[in-house]
Amino acid sequence: MDFFVLYLLGFGTSFAVTAAVLPLLRRWLKDRLSDTPGGLKTHEGTVPTVGGSAVLLGIAGSLILIRLCTNFPSGTLHNLRGILIGSLIIFTMGLWDDLTKPRGLPVWTKLALQAAATAALIAYGVRIQTIEPLWMAGPLTFLWVVGLTNAFNLLDIQDGLCVTQALVCTVGLTLITLPHEYIYVNFAALAVSGACLAFWPYNHSKNRRTFLGDSGSNLIGFLIAALSLGYGYSARSSFGFLAPLLMLAVPLFDTSFVFLARVLQKKNPLKGSNDHAALRLKARGWSHRKILTAFAVAGFAGNFGAFLLTRGGLMTATAVLACTGATAAFFAYKLLQTEPK
């Protein structure tokens, strides 16, 4: 079967399964998995948090079908096994956290489970490839995966932010990797895209409003972090290894900004607060739609910059990185001048 057809099949299956199971999960689990207002959560009424379960089923259904429809050489999908094992650990952690709300899991329990999921990735060869030996690459891989897993979880502070960034990042990742047919990255990224696109309307619906929950936001962050490690970005340019930093610039910026804001205010950086970039933009009078659009545009700009890094030389890399750094510094400065509500 042609690869293009397989990609469409993978994307379509993930979308269809997620769209099909979401109404059922809402009906069956809304009394068990739900979120109530309180603290930083200002939504009205109780909202089901079954989005993560639907996304997981959509991605799993897509990858299983693709495996059944293909006959790849032995070992081709070896890396994907590590991603699937790690994903199940992360999803279980997030689901456990959702079920024990409002108290949730202790920070150190989450970090231990995230470390176990990252260990599964490394055991199956999914790690930072540009650094040797393994004892050096391992800790940096852990920081990358855990950082991005939590970054997407932090982005889920406002409807649509997490899932929109997931769509932007996976589409960008797919377009950058397609010429090289890095199979497990392409199929898994498209599966994530399809599931997120199917969930997106539910995140904004008035009558069927649904949240990802920690199970969903952590799962998406982990998957994207893992997939971003699986491509030879420097195949055409020696500066390509920096591409993941720009592909994931928005979640990385948001997490770094929250950490910086908390430290400057002498708060515990590991505890929740209203210092998120989106909440500060809201305090400046920005509407929900405007914030969502700005984050999406920034995400596409970052992915375009990542594409340039994988194709350009020294001058291109210098210009892209300087522009990105200056833009991030400017917005961080402006946001720090705004008091969150």
pLDDT of res. 223: 96
188 contacts 13 by C-beta, under 8 angstroms? no
Contact 325, 242 (CB under 8 A): no
Question: 3-state DSSP call for residue 272?
Answer: coil
d(C-alpha 63, C-alpha 46), whole Å: 33
Report the pLDDT value the prediction gives residue 127, as an integer from 0 to 100.
87
pTM (two decimals): 0.92
Per-residue exposure over 43-67, b if at least 16 CB sit within 10 Å of its own CB, e if not? eeeebbbbbbbbbbbbbbbbbebbe
Tokens 């900004």 correspond to 257
CA dist 231 and 189 (Å) reads 12
Residue 234's pLDDT is what?
73
- Which amino acid, residue 197? L
Contact 250, 152 (CB under 8 A): no
Give the max Cα distance, the chain.
Answer: 58
pLDDT (0 to 100) of residue 207: 77
**Tokens 């990742």 appear where?**
173
Instruction: Report the C-alpha gap between 33 and 213 in whole angstroms.
Output: 9
Q: What is the DSSP letter of 38?
A: B
Residue-by-residue DSSP string for 151-174: HHHHHTTSTTHHHHHHHHHHHHHH
Q: What's the pLDDT at 341?
A: 66
- Residue 299 CA to residue 250 CA, distance in Å, equals 6
DSSP character at residue 310:
T
Give the model's pLDDT for residue 41.
57
Q: What is the pLDDT of residue 43?
A: 52
* Inter-residue contact 220 to 152 (CB < 8 Å): yes
What DSSP element (H or E) covers 148? helix 134-155
**3-state DSSP assignment of residue 34:** strand
Q: What is the pLDDT of residue 291?
A: 94
CA dihedral 17, 23, 26, 28 (to 10 degrees): -90
Give 331: exposed, middle or buried? Use CB within 10 Å, 0-12, 13-18, 19+.
middle
State the first-to-last Cα distance of the chain, in angstroms, to the nearest integer: 54
> What are 176's two structure tokens?
């950058």
C-beta of residue 227 within 8 angstroms of C-beta of residue 59: no
What ranges do the domains of the chain cover? 1-229, 232-341
Mark the ranges of the chain whose per-residue pLDDT is less than 50. none
The reported pLDDT for the residue numbered 325 is 95
Closest CA to 195 of 89, 27, 54, 90: 54
Confidence (pLDDT) at 76: 60
Query: pLDDT tens, 32-78?
Result: 888 776 555 555 568 899 999 999 999 999 988 888 887 766 556 77
Give the span between the Cα atoms of 102 and 41, in whole angstroms.
11
Radius of gyration of the chain (CA): 19
